[in-house]
Structure 1
C-alpha cells in the first residue's frame, strides 16, 4: 500500500510545520517532504506521534494498585491507546510492599510490549502531611525493600521513576537509587526551598505534579514549588484546569530558566476510558463535574487523558500549541532518557496520532488509511 497523506500541520523535527506530505508504504512512513503539487490520498488536520504519559494510575476501569498484573497493565494500556497515548508508565501509588513488588513483577513481564515505557513508583516514601489521597497506613521511609525492587527493575533494563519526599529520605539510600539510574522526583513533599535545592544537587532531577501535594507558593516561605520553578529540573504538571489554575501554570512556565523542561501528565485513574467510579483503598471515588473526588469532595487523581489535557492547555490555558505538543510528547521522553518519537522514515503509522481541528483525537494513522 502506497499512500500520500497531507496534514495541515505536521510535528516534524521538533516543531509544527505546514505544507508537508507524508508518504506511507506497507504501514510505515516512507518519506516526509514538501507536498508541492502532488495530490494526496488523505488530508488530515494535525499529525504527530502519540503522547507519552509518565503518570498513569489506571484506565479502562482498572487501577494498577488493585490489579498489578500483566492483564491489568494491558487493560490500562488499551484504554489510553484508544485516546491517543502511545506510551505510558504504569504508576503504582502508596501501598503495602507486596503490592509494589507485584507491580514491578508485572512490568517486568510486560517489558517489550509496545507502549510500556517503564514504571512510575509514586510513594510510599512521601510526607504524611502531603499524602493527598494516598493511604497514610502504608507511608514509610525509603528502605532496603524498595531498593531491592529498584535493583530488579533496573537489572531488567526498565526505566524507573520514583516519586518521594526528599527531605524524609536517607541521603545514602537516595544516592544508591540514583546510582542505579532511577529517575528521582520530588513530590508529595513538604521540603523547604533549601531542602529542595539540596535534593536537586544530589540526584533528584524531577518534580511530580507541580503545585499539587506540596506547600503553596508563599512570599516568605517559597518551598519546593519555587525552588523547582527556578531550577533546571524536569517538572510535571496536570493540565486539566482543575489541579492547577491556568494563571499559575502560565506563571510557572514564564518563570522557568528552562521552559523546555516542563511536561504534562494525566495522573489518570480508572475512569479514563472506563466507568465513572471505582474503589481506592476501599473508598468510592467518582467523577463529579469533571472532577475526580472522594466522598468528602477532595481530589483523588485526575479524569483526563493526555491529548485532552494537551488541548485544554492550549485552548483554555493559552499556551502555544507547539509548546503543548512538546510537553505531551518530546519532553517527558527526554526527562526519562527515552528516545524521541518522530514522523520520519521507518516510523510505524500505528504510532502516529491524527487530531481534528478542535484538537480532538481522530484516530491512529494506520486506521485512517
Structure 2
C-alpha cells in the first residue's frame, strides 16, 4: 500500500491516490486520507508498457536462441525499462526455425514466464522488394503447415505481419477468424490491395512508414490506406525510423486509441554492446542507431521507456497519451484490456512510476516491484 502523486486511469489523471495491492492485482485506487502515514511517491504512475514487436534484448535475439531461457532474458532486459508484457517477435526464417520458436513460446507460457503473452511472427510472407534486413531467400507464400503452426491455442495471442501481395484475402480471413492479429508490413501493395486486406480481417500496420509503399497524392499506398481508416499501427519513435513530423501526422490521424509505440528492438537493446550478428550480417550501433555496413536500418536498440520519452519530447504528445500508446492501445489490440493495459481495481498490478523528468523510478510486474526501493 502506498500513495502516489499522480495516477493515470482510463478517466484521466487522479491525484493523491492511495494504491492498495493484493497479490498480483490492484485491490483499490482511492483518494488518500490527508493524515496518512504510508510511503509517498512523487511522479506519475502509469500502466506497465506492452511491446508487440520486440526481436530481442539483453544480448539475445529470439531467432538465434529459441529457448525459454532466452525469452526470460529478453523479458528481464526490457522489464528494466517499463515493459511488463511482450510479444517476442520472430522474423523471417525457415519452417523448422519457426517451429522451434513456437515450441519455446508454448514452453514459456506453460512455465508461466511473466510477461510472455504470445508471439509475433514478422514474416516470412513478405515482399522481397521491401525486405529491410529480412532474408529475401526465406520469403514465401504461406503453406498449410505454417498456417497450422500459427493457430495453436497454446501460443497465446498471435500476431502476424504479412504483405498482402503474398497472401490471398481468403488466407487473411482464415487467420483473422482464428483470432490471429494480422498486420500489414514489408509490402509494396497499393492502397486498393491494402484496403482489401483490411476488409478481409487485417487489423493494422507494422512499423508504419517503414518498409511499405508510401503516401502520395494519387497513389496513397499502404501508409495512406492505414492513415485513412480506423486500423491500428505500430510506430518506432527513435528519431531515426520516422521523422517527428510524420509521427505527429500519424498521431493526428489515428489518435492514441489506434497508434501504438513499439521498439522493434534487437539483441543490442538494454545492453552497452556496439554490434551483433543477424544471419551472418554484422549490425552496428552508432549512438542509438542500428545499421548494416551498407547503412540499412536494422531494427533498433529502443526501449519502451525511451519510446514514451521520445513521443513526449520529439512529437509533443502528452504523457497520458504516450502512456496509452505504450500500454492501453496494445492491450486493446491484443484483447488483453480486461485485465491489463490500464490501472483500475481488479486488474493486474503491472505499473511504471516515472518522475517529472520522465525517468524510471519503479516497475511492478504482477504486483512485484523490480527494485527494492524507489529509484532516486
- Could you tell me the TM-score, scaled by structure 2's length? 0.91
- The equivalent of 1:357 in structure 2 is 356
Pick the aligned partner of 2:240 from 228, 234, 242: 242
- Please report the RMSD computed on the Cα atoms of aligned residues, expressed in angstroms: 1.8
Q: Give 1:32 shift.
A: 1.4
| C-alpha spacing 1:122/1:28, structure 2 compared with 1 (3 Å) | closer
1:110-189 equivalences under 5 Å are 110-111=108-109, 112-152=112-152, 154=153, 156=154, 158-189=156-187
Cα contact 1:292–1:302 (8 A) shared by 2: yes
- SS at 1:105's partner residue? helix
Task: State the distance in 2 between where 1:15 and 1:322 align.
Answer: 8
* Separation (CA, whole Å) in 2 of partners of 1:27 and 1:118: 20
Matching residue of 2:204: 206
The one-character-per-residue Cα deviations of 1:135-189 (angstroms, maximum 9, x if unpaired) are 111011122121121122x3x2611000000122123322222221111100001
**What is the rounded CA distance, in whole Å, between the counterparts of 1:174 and 1:122 in structure 2?**
15
Whether the 8 Å CA contact 2:250–2:259 is kept in 1: the answer is: no
In structure 2, C-alpha distance between the alignment counterparts of 1:123 and 1:282, rounded to whole Å:
19
Match for 2:315 among 307, 314, 317?
A: 317
Question: Runs of 5+ in structure 2 lacking a partner?
Answer: none
CA contact (8 A) 2:49 2:341 kept: no
Q: Indicate the residue corresponding to 2:324 in structure 1.
A: 326
Match status 1:343 vs 2:343: yes
Task: Give 3-state SS (helix, strand or coil) of 1:65's partner.
Answer: helix
What is the alpha-carbon distance in structure 2 between the residues aligned to residue 117 and residue 287 of structure 1? Answer: 29
- Quote the Cα distance in structure 2 between the aligned partners of 1:52 and 1:141: 30
What secondary structure is seen at the aligned counterpart in 1 of 2:264?
coil
Unmatched 5+ residue regions in structure 1? none
Match of 2:6 among 4, 9, 13: 9
Alignment match, 1:260? 257
Distance in 1 (CA, whole Å) between partners of 2:185 and 2:226 is: 11
Residues 214-253 of structure 1: per-residue CA shift (max 9 Å, x gap): 1222122110000000111111111112111111111122
* CA spacing shift, 1:345–1:336, aligned 2, 3 Å: closer
Answer yes or no: is the 8 Å Cα contact 2:50–2:330 preserved in 1. Answer: yes
Matched, 1:54 2:19: no
**TM-score under structure 1 length normalisation:** 0.93
| Structure 2 partner of 1:69 | 67
Equivalent position of 2:224 in the other structure: 226
Alpha carbons of structure 1 residues 348 and 166: separation in structure 2 relative to 1, 3 Å: closer
Output the CA distance in 2 between the equivalents of 1:157 and 1:334.
Answer: 18
